[in-house]
Structure 1
């Protein structure tokens, strides 16, 4: 008979049940958590106590977590943990009886627990006074919370000025940084011949860009006439320039008149001149400058003058500048949106 009952005794000793609570005292409506742990052999099966909505009268169950299973001793032992979240709305000292767990038709019990539920302080001297619930408290102002917002707001100001500056440079087709150098001031005819030589080297009329060719050629002539004869040729029409030249210049200017007329037809009437006509007008411009130029004395020293060098922007530079403007604009808009959301969240 002792041999027959020995296995049951060994099995009974291998089961342990333990219960604990994380807080022995709570306020009304607060929550506490009970942890029920069972240690059994890996081949055994445990049945936990079944609760519906309360453990005992006055202690309600808020939630039951899923059991946590853990193997021990090379998977020979099994530790099962079950957690219960409880609360109470009646102030009292509660006695929680032991939890019963069934293992192989045997019931094992844990130790009992206690929970004290206390009520908030009540002004017993004025029991008829009722107070509404307090409003939401505003957090204290701290500069550290607004450091990033202030930095972005200050950063947005120079970015806006930079965007405006880049847009103006892009619209005027001018470089972002203006290069200034000191060089001797050349006579009007030398400056004009230097510009015409550049136009001649580029040969843009051979690429079908007649309007651009005649615009550059007449601008070079207008600048020369203005510096050489002293009237505002850059602001005058072609016919006005010819009439003014007839008053101050005795030489024949019919070829120059024909050049300006052709240029007006190309620019305003979409006239497409012949190739030899373009070459002829270039030669006429050179001839007019050579016939009307005034030579400077050989012993006269050139006067240094500040000259602003405006380099023409390439197509690639235009694209990069446009992309930069778009990216900067999007960044400024994002900064404004972030600051606005921050202000709305703080004051509403």
Structure 2
């Protein structure tokens, strides 16, 4: 191989290598480049109007950009109304990243503002955008014709619309039964009576059976043997008075012993001398502190049983027992009182809120 041929082949390989390196180098540099662009949608606004600034950063997908932090103003005279959430978009098969940040600004001072470049930190390097300008001007006022301008208008009352008062009308209707319920619960709370009364229906017991049931109880307790003669005769005569009242139909519970005997002599033909002796003994024990003998107490108990058996009404075999309604009222428990108190307080608060709401609505309507 000659020197000329060798030299020519070396130049070819050098040129080929340069060509390959030059083809890869732009891509690598482009992949690592960062561009910052900023734009504003309006170069001039009137006082109080708004403008939007769009800041875009294009960088490698593996890099991280730090945007400038603003509080409430971009610079003196330009206020920031809103900072939108950054929008991220991938490019070039997710090799590049485009981040867009939007700022909504306004101003209330007419002037020509110079907005300095925005600084973006990517890694440890700072990149800056171009600067912006914003012209804020005031509306022109023709002071030579003041009659063309009018003073500030007063507050206008909105028209009356029934649909706006549906809730208030419903609350008004609801508040009336709630107030009656509160009054009812307060009365029940003071009377210490249950809110709901329990009513039991039981078959009516004939007077002689009820009396014999009470006498059997007195006989079993034998309280006269314990020295309680007054209590014994009180219970025995009360049982007889109740039986006489239910059997013969006159108010024996409110009559004296002598009046009961006289009334029985008019309505009953049987001998009632034993019953008369029983009532006389009971009066002596209750009012004269008489202490009867043991056999005398037993005799009077037997006389009471004999009187009931001799004067009881004849039972009809085919007659059905007449049911009797018995209303049972139990005293309210402590837990029920607490719950009732809480219920009264809650209902009262609801009624107060309803009244306050209605008063405010009426005040807004007429004042």
Normalising by the smaller structure, the TM-score range is: 0.5 to 0.7
Compared with structure 1, are the counterparts of its residues 43 and 145 closer, same or farther at alpha carbon in structure 2 (3 Å cutoff)? same
Paired residue secondary structure (1:337): helix
Distance 1:121 1:259 in 2: 116
Q: What is the aligned counterpart of 1:338 among 353, 357, 365?
A: 353
Paired residue secondary structure (1:126): helix
1:309 aligns with 2:326: yes
Q: Does the CA contact (< 8 Å) of 1:97 and 1:113 recur in 2?
A: yes
Question: 1:294 offset after TM fit, Å?
Answer: 1.4
Distance 1:196 1:118 in 2: 110
Structure 1 counterpart of 2:12:
none
Q: Does the CA contact (< 8 Å) of 2:82 and 2:105 recur in 1?
A: no
1:325 aligns with 2:340: yes
Compared with structure 1, are the counterparts of its residues 134 and 140 closer, same or farther at alpha carbon in structure 2 (3 Å cutoff)? same
Question: 1:308 offset after TM fit, Å?
Answer: 1.6
Q: Does the CA contact (< 8 Å) of 1:47 and 1:102 recur in 2?
A: yes
Compared with structure 1, are the counterparts of its residues 344 and 312 closer, same or farther at alpha carbon in structure 2 (3 Å cutoff)? closer
Distance 1:228 1:154 in 2: 51
1:15 aligns with 2:62: no
Question: 1:152 offset after TM fit, Å?
Answer: 3.8
Distance 1:37 1:281 in 2: 117
- Deviation by residue 1:241-264 (Cα, 9 ceiling, x = unmatched): 3343354464211454367669xx
Structure 1 counterpart of 2:167:
145
Compared with structure 1, are the counterparts of its residues 68 and 225 closer, same or farther at alpha carbon in structure 2 (3 Å cutoff)? same
Question: 1:78 offset after TM fit, Å?
Answer: 6.7
Larger Rg: 2
State TM-score, norm by structure 2.
0.55
Compared with structure 1, are the counterparts of its residues 168 and 191 closer, same or farther at alpha carbon in structure 2 (3 Å cutoff)? farther
- Deviation by residue 1:138-160 (Cα, 9 ceiling, x = unmatched): 88442443376246425515634
- Which ranges in structure 1 are unaligned for 5 or more consecutive residues? 263-276
Q: Does the CA contact (< 8 Å) of 2:110 and 2:135 recur in 1?
A: no
Q: Does the CA contact (< 8 Å) of 1:46 and 1:102 recur in 2?
A: yes
Q: What is the aligned counterpart of 2:151 among 125, 130, 138?
A: 130
Compared with structure 1, are the counterparts of its residues 119 and 156 closer, same or farther at alpha carbon in structure 2 (3 Å cutoff)? farther
1:291 aligns with 2:313: no
Compared with structure 1, are the counterparts of its residues 255 and 80 closer, same or farther at alpha carbon in structure 2 (3 Å cutoff)? farther
Paired residue secondary structure (1:40): strand
Report the count of equivalent residues. 310
Q: What is the aligned counterpart of 1:176 among 190, 193, 197?
A: 197
Q: Does the CA contact (< 8 Å) of 1:69 and 1:78 recur in 2?
A: no
Distance 2:252 2:195 in 1: 23
Q: Does the CA contact (< 8 Å) of 2:36 and 2:128 recur in 1?
A: no
Structure 2 counterpart of 1:107:
128
- Deviation by residue 1:17-45 (Cα, 9 ceiling, x = unmatched): 24455x99987535555443433345566
Compared with structure 1, are the counterparts of its residues 50 and 161 closer, same or farther at alpha carbon in structure 2 (3 Å cutoff)? closer
Question: 1:81 offset after TM fit, Å?
Answer: 5.8
Q: Does the CA contact (< 8 Å) of 1:62 and 1:86 recur in 2?
A: yes
Q: What is the aligned counterpart of 1:61 among 68, 79, 92?
A: 79
Q: What is the aligned counterpart of 1:257 among 278, 283, 288?
A: 283
How big is the alpha-carbon RMSD for the aligned residues of Structure 1 and Structure 2? 5.9
Question: 1:336 offset after TM fit, Å?
Answer: 1.1
Structure 1 counterpart of 2:178:
156
